[in-house]
Amino acid sequence: MSARTDGPRRDTPSPAGPNGHSPRPTAPRRSPITLHDLVLLAALAVVFGFLYWALVQLWGWLQVAMGPFGDLAQNALAGGWMVVAPLAVYIVRKPGVGVVVEIIAAIVEVVFLASPVGPMLLLVGLIQGVGAELPFALTRYRRFGWSVFVASGISAALFNLMLGVVRFGWAGQDFFALRVGLQFASGILLCGLLAKVIGDALLRTGVLDNYAIGRAERAAARAQRR
Amino acid sequence: MSATAFGRPLDVDSLLHRRDPAVKLALVLVTSAVVTGVFDPWTPTALYLIALPAVAVAGRIPPRTLARAHVPFALFGLSLFTVNALTRQGEVVGTLGPFDVTAPGLAIGASLAVRTLLIGTLSLGFVLTTDGARLMTSLHQHVRLSGAFAYAVLAGYRLLEQLPQQWQTIRQAQAMRRTRAPGRGVQRRGSRAPHRPVALPRSPRALTRAAFTLLVTTLRRGERMSIALETRGLGAGRRTIHDPARLTPGDAVLTGVVLAVVTLVLLVSRHAGLLAGWGALGVFG
């Protein structure tokens, strides 16, 4: 039997020799996003998209009730809007996952739930996803300590701020400094740290056993027992 | 919109219903992107006054549905208007409490508010005339969206349809368990009429627990679905398409008309000296 078959091949061609053994022992190679991962991302995006959509409905009234500070509520809550991206990267640990999950969440909100923000959400999701995923990409998707999640929150907040400056002209307003402060606090707490808290809680339930996060956990447990 | 109607178009046939979903989505995106660069109140207002009747007639959307769906957009727009009117520098035209109302603030606020209504109307026209599943087929065909991605989104859509029901079940189950817990001053089982409905707990703690349970059950269902899809060979190479989405001359006409109207409004507005872009913000020099 040849090493390469014509069957389903979702992973990159393996460096395996004719007898099926890898020529050198390397770290587990990183395969592209599989259907298994994609459906998980869709499920995550759906739940968070649904919760975001419910939040947006409440938030509209809150905004009007708070008058001129209402628009600032957006910056205070912004981190929560992006939490699904670091969470997805934490679980699947592959390049592009944070961006894909944000885009699916945006599709769900726009196409299926008719969000008041409109199709621009697709662009917003893309930019927020890139922002949240950047620090994980810089560690080559290998480090998942608290500090990386804080960096992810900061980076996502920064990208979101830049987007707001372009979309809503925030920079010309009186409370720009307050906005920046709220945005960063929200990014760190509601996006970065919350993602790790949710991810760890999900891991304990066992639903993530068949994903990268569960495999890494088992590998770590084995290493500890030795 | 009822919970079961997520992603389903209005049950009528109309000009907009017959157009290709990917074309409609592209037009909404392009128009939204163009008006994002406009900061005077007149241009978006003109576009809105054209778009509203056009969407209602071409999509056969009842005025009542359109009006009800405007509530969230109107709230969002009102908030944008308030914050901009009160917090921008410029010529002061009045005061409200500790805040100065400025002329540029009013203009930019009005522009952003009407822009919200305009984009909202366009998205409604899209959502109320488009089937979610057809959109994914069309994107798969015309934008070369990967089949695995399209099916993952559709699986997500199926999960979404079940979410409200799931949410209700989880909260009811948790409420039942709560009534049985002894010694908390809550009603014990059998202490009152058995068919009296139990109030669902509304504390943030209870809602958080329900949300987390919802996440876990949805992830479980999702994994089962992905295994079902994989055993049917999805994601294993090229596939044929059942009931393909065909582009028709009507799609070309729609594209031409929308782009022409947007261009015309922008040109007229510029000719009249009303059009204002990023410069109106007074931030970028």
Instruction: Supply the mean pLDDT for chain A.
Output: 81
Query: Does A5 have pLDDT greater than 50?
Result: no
- Residue A20 confidence (pLDDT): 47
Question: Are A133 and A99 in contact, with CB atoms under 8 Å apart?
Answer: yes
Question: Between chains, do B160 and A50 touch, taking CB under 8 Å as contact?
Answer: yes
- Residue B12 confidence (pLDDT): 86
- Whether chain A has a CB inside 8 Å of the CB on B123: the answer is yes
In the three-class reduction of DSSP (H, G, I as helix; E, B as strand; rest coil), residue A118 is classed as coil
| Helices A194-205, B204-231: crossing angle, 10 deg rounding | 60
Query: Does B4 have pLDDT greater than 50?
Result: no
* Domain-wise residue ranges, chain B: 3-138+248-281, 149-177+200-237
Interface test with B, best of A47, A120, A167 (most B CBs within 10 A): A47
CB atoms under 10 Å from CB of B132, counted, come to 21
Structure confidence by residue, pLDDT tens digits, B113-136? 999 899 889 988 888 888 888 888
- Shortest distance between the Cα of B188 and any Cα of chain A, in A, equals 30
Burial class of residue A220 in the structure, from the number of CB atoms within 10 Å of its CB (0-12 exposed, 13-18 middle, 19+ buried): exposed
- Residue A28 confidence (pLDDT): 52
- Whether chain B has a CB inside 8 Å of the CB on A101: the answer is no
More confident residue, A195 or B179: A195
**Is residue B284 very low, low, confident or very high in pLDDT (cuts 50, 70, 90)?**
very low
- Whether chain A has a CB inside 8 Å of the CB on B33: the answer is yes
Lowest-pLDDT range, A51-55, A175-179, B5-9, B102-106? B5-9
* HSE value, Cβ hemisphere, 13 Å, CA-based, for A114: 28
Lowest-pLDDT range, A114-123, A208-217, B182-191, B199-208? B182-191
Residue of B nearest to A197 (CA): B212
Structure confidence by residue, pLDDT tens digits, B188-234? 555 555 555 667 777 888 888 989 999 999 999 999 999 998 888 87
Lowest-pLDDT range, A160-169, B25-34, B236-245? B236-245
Query: Does B179 have pLDDT greater than 70?
Result: no
Burial class of residue B131 in the structure, from the number of CB atoms within 10 Å of its CB (0-12 exposed, 13-18 middle, 19+ buried): middle
- Shortest distance between the Cα of A76 and any Cα of chain B, in A, equals 15
**Is residue A7 very low, low, confident or very high in pLDDT (cuts 50, 70, 90)?**
very low
- Residue A14 confidence (pLDDT): 44
Domains and CATH numbers, chain A: 35-225 (1.10.1760)
State which amino acid sits at residue A121.
L
Q: Which of B155, B278, B275, B49 is nearest to A167 (CA)?
A: B278
ipTM metric: 0.80
State which amino acid sits at residue B134.
R
How many Å apart are CA A191 and CA A152, to the nearest integer? 8
Query: Does A2 have pLDDT greater than 50?
Result: no
When pLDDT is averaged across residues A137-146 and rounded to a whole number, the result is 92
State which amino acid sits at residue A145.
G
When pLDDT is averaged across residues B5-11 and rounded to a whole number, the result is 74
How many Å apart are CA A161 and CA B130, to the nearest integer? 33
DSSP state of B92: E
DSSP state of B98: T
